[in-house]
Amino acid sequence: MRIVVLGGGPGGYAAAFEAARLGATVTLIEKENLGGTCLNWGCVPTKTILRSARIAWDAHNAAEFGLILPAADVDEERLLERKDAIVTELRSQIEATAARLKVDVVYGVGRLVDAKTVRVTGEEGETDYHADALILATGSEVFRLPSIDHSLERVWTSDEATSIIATPSSILIVGGGVIGLEFACAYAAFGAEVHVVELMPDVLPGNDKRVQRAAQEALEKMGVVFHLGAAAESIGQFGDKMETVLPDGSIIETDYVLSAVGRKPFSEGVGIAEAGIEMDRAAVKVDEYFRTNVPGVYAIGDLIGGMMLAHVADEEGLAAARNAIREYEFAAAEGLLAKMTHVPHRESVDYSCIPACVYTFPEIGVLGSSRDSAKAAGLDVVQAVAKFAANGKALGEGEPEGFVQVVAEKNTGRIVGCQIVGPHAVEIIHEVALAKRHGLTVRDIAETVHAHPTVSEVVRLACADAASKCGV
């Protein structure tokens, strides 16, 4: 069986590698660099920058730990070199895995000719690649507000912010979501004056209210100024300064403006709609098994919208590859290649068990439903909260802010959701994810001995309280 994967990001290369492991002949088409947005301009570069920012912030607060240190002086060139070296190393590992699994990596711009053929335009001209199954994984691109002139030198998107490592003395960030808050945290730690303009009345729109408040308060303590329920009415460059006008007429002057209003599926110019594949606005429409309306064509990752996260794309890629091979083998055996309707053992993804993380100071990890969203869905739930302020490890590390909030189904104790704001939140959220994935209860976590002192003890305390409230 031959599978062609269009797009070499986390979802694309995960699908390609899994298909190769399962015996398929695989061609992976990538227009630029393997690793996609996550590795080259997103997850990895931003976390690398945030690590440097964390050191700078710790130096700023060193006196609280009995240490007298000078303020951190950012070496922008060295920071950029370190970021590039990490990206290059990880990219080389992906390339090595592709070679080991005999995945044919083709670089060039791919466009669908039909549901079984991708035409790649590269340095040597055009070449057609034919497939028994096609997995679309073209990812996403930066969403650009029409009200912002991105041709201005001092207007950045997240792509520029991770490619041109600079530490301006002041910056205005449009967007108070995950991307905006992470950059706000980094620039504030580096000593910049930071303003965040968010159209919604709260930061991190769609999240639990307690999480929103904690995130905003933590960044305000770092000096970040929020302008919520407001839009950037106009943005202009005047010499080496940017002027942003808010709805109330006030003007904010900064060195740079960073547009961080999110991303959108990259579906234009790929030939997807022309191949008869059904769309949901900019996203490709799929069923729970990542099948499009065209037999043998699958789509995953940011291209299908939903939780636009690298680890989600990875999981979807694995499922799509397995489904593609199973369906092809079943259809071929039955002589029903054009009527793949009933295939056993299809795989889907349980999105309620997937953590979403924000790498601010403190970190944020959320999973499943909040109490309000669970109740809105008709579930009878309880909520329990334990705080890091009473945790010895958190106090010792100087990070007593934050909490673990567990939402569980009343009477059964089954985990519905969890929200963590605090030290190492992006790591310890996985304990709850594992429990939820395998149907464990809050009582199961509460009865599991946690090492002392660790910040994960707060998870156990929250679960113990939840178990009591659930009556289990």
pLDDT tens, 15-30? 999 999 999 999 999 9
Catalytic residue ranges:
452
**372 three-class SS:** helix
What radius of gyration, in Å, describes the C-alpha atoms of the chain? 24
pLDDT digits (tens, 9 = 90+) for 73-94: 999 999 999 999 999 999 999 9
The pLDDT of residue 163:
86
pLDDT at 331: 73
Assigned token pair, 290: 């990542």
441: DSSP letter: B
Residue 333: predicted pLDDT: 61
Residue type, 231: A
Extract the tokens encoding 221: 């303590």
β-pairing, 2-6 vs 133-136, is parallel
Edge to edge, the sheet with strand 415-422 lists: 356-358, 363-368, 415-422, 403-409, 381-387
In the chain, which stretches have pLDDT less than 50? 337-338
Q: What is the pLDDT of residue 332?
A: 67
d(CA 63, CA 254): 30
CB atoms near residue 102 (< 10 Å): 9
What is the residue-wise DSSP string for 159-220?
Answer: HHHHHS----SEEEEE--SHHHHHHHHHHHHTT-EEEEEESSSSSSTTS-HHHHHHHHHHHH
- In the chain, the domains with their CATH numbers are 2-142+265-334 (3.50.50.60), 155-261 (3.50.50.60), 352-470 (3.30.390.30)
Which residues share a beta bridge with 441?
Answer: 414
pTM for this predicted structure:
0.94
Pairing of strands 225-228, 193-198: parallel
The mean pLDDT of the chain is 95
Give the pLDDT confidence score for residue 242 in this predicted structure. Answer: 96
b/e burial code for range 48-82 (CB count within 10 A of at least 16 → b): bbbbbbeebbbbbebeeeeeeeeebebeeeebbeb
Q: How confident is the model at residue 338, as a pLDDT?
A: 47
Measured between alpha carbons, how far is 260 from 145 in angstroms, rounded to an integer? 10
User: What pLDDT, on a 0 to 100 scale, did the predictor assign at position 330?
Assistant: 78
State the pLDDT at residue 164: 76
Residues in the chain: 472
Phi, psi of 193 (to 5 degrees): -80, 120
Residue 471 burial by Cβ neighbours in a 10 Å radius (0-12, 13-18, 19+): exposed
pLDDT score, position 167: 85
- 3-class DSSP state of 381: strand
User: From the DSSP assignment, how many helices (H) and strands (E) are in the chain?
Assistant: 13, 25
